[in-house]
Amino acid sequence: MRITQIMLGKGFGGAERSFVDTALSLAERGHEVQAICHRNFIKRDILENRSNIQLETLRAGSEFDFLTPRRLAKMIRKFQPAAIHTHLKRAAWHGGRAGKMAGVPVVAKLHNYVDFNRYRYVHTIIGTTEDQRRHALNQKWPENRVVVIPNFSRVPAVECAKKLTDQQIHFLSYGRYVEVKGFDLLLQAFRKVLDAGINARLTIGGGGKESATLNKLADSLGIRNSVELDKWIDDTLSALDHSDIFVLSSRSESFGIVLLEAMARGIPIVATKAKGPLQVLDDERAFFAELNSADSLAEAMLAAVVNPDTTYKKAETALKIYKEVFSENAVLPALEQLYASVSKQPIPAVE
CATH number at residue 292: 3.40.50.2000
Say if 337 falls within a structural domain. yes
The stretch 226-247 carries a mean pLDDT of 93
Say if 41 falls within a structural domain. yes
Q: Are residues 199 and 189 part of one domain?
A: yes
Predicted confidence at residue 351, as pLDDT, reads: 52
What are the angstrom distances between the C-alpha of 273 and each of 104, 304, 332?
Answer: 39, 16, 28
The stretch 54-71 carries a mean pLDDT of 90
Say if 347 falls within a structural domain. no
Q: Are residues 196 and 135 part of one domain?
A: no
Strand bridging mode 106-109 / 32-38: unpaired
Say if 349 falls within a structural domain. no
SS (H, E, C) the chain: CEEEEEECCCCCCHHHHHHHHHHHHHHHCCCEEEEEEECCCCCHHHHCCCCCEEEEEECCCCCCCCHHHHHHHHHHHHHCCCEEEEECHHHHHHHHHHHHHHCCCEEEECCCCCCHHHCCCCCEEEECCHHHHHHHHHCCCCHHHEEECCCCECCCCCCCCCCCCCCCEEEEEEEECCHHHCHHHHHHHHHHHHHCCCCEEEEEEEECCCHHHHHHHHHHHCCHHHEEEEECCCCHHHHHHCCCEEEECCCCCCCCHHHHHHHHCCCCEEEECCHHHHHHCCCCCCEEECCCCHHHHHHHHHHHHHCHHHHHHHHHHHHHHHHHHHEHHHHHHHHHHHHHHHCCCCCCCCC
- Per-residue confidence at 83, pLDDT binned at 50, 70, 90? very high
Q: Are residues 201 and 102 part of one domain?
A: no
Q: Are residues 189 and 286 part of one domain?
A: yes
What total of structural domains would you count in the chain? Answer: 2
pLDDT digits (tens, 9 = 90+) for 25-39: 999 999 999 999 999
Q: Are residues 318 and 174 part of one domain?
A: yes
Q: Are residues 206 and 282 part of one domain?
A: yes
Instruction: Give the residues across from 282 on adjacent strands.
Output: none
Predicted confidence at residue 61, as pLDDT, reads: 78
The stretch 280-297 carries a mean pLDDT of 97
Q: Are residues 261 and 231 part of one domain?
A: yes
Q: Are residues 180 and 293 part of one domain?
A: yes
Q: Are residues 333 and 268 part of one domain?
A: no
Say if 164 falls within a structural domain. no
Q: Are residues 274 and 318 part of one domain?
A: yes
Res 96 pLDDT > 60: yes
Res 63 pLDDT > 80: no
pLDDT digits (tens, 9 = 90+) for 163-205: 999 899 999 999 989 999 999 999 999 999 999 999 999 999 9
Domain of 281, in residue numbers: 169-326
Say if 286 falls within a structural domain. yes
Say if 351 falls within a structural domain. no
Rounded distance between C-alpha atoms, residue 77 and residue 41, angstroms: 23
Q: Are residues 235 and 300 part of one domain?
A: yes
Q: Are residues 314 and 220 part of one domain?
A: yes
- Per-residue confidence at 1, pLDDT binned at 50, 70, 90? very high
Predicted confidence at residue 181, as pLDDT, reads: 96
Mean of pLDDT over the chain: 94
Say if 183 falls within a structural domain. yes
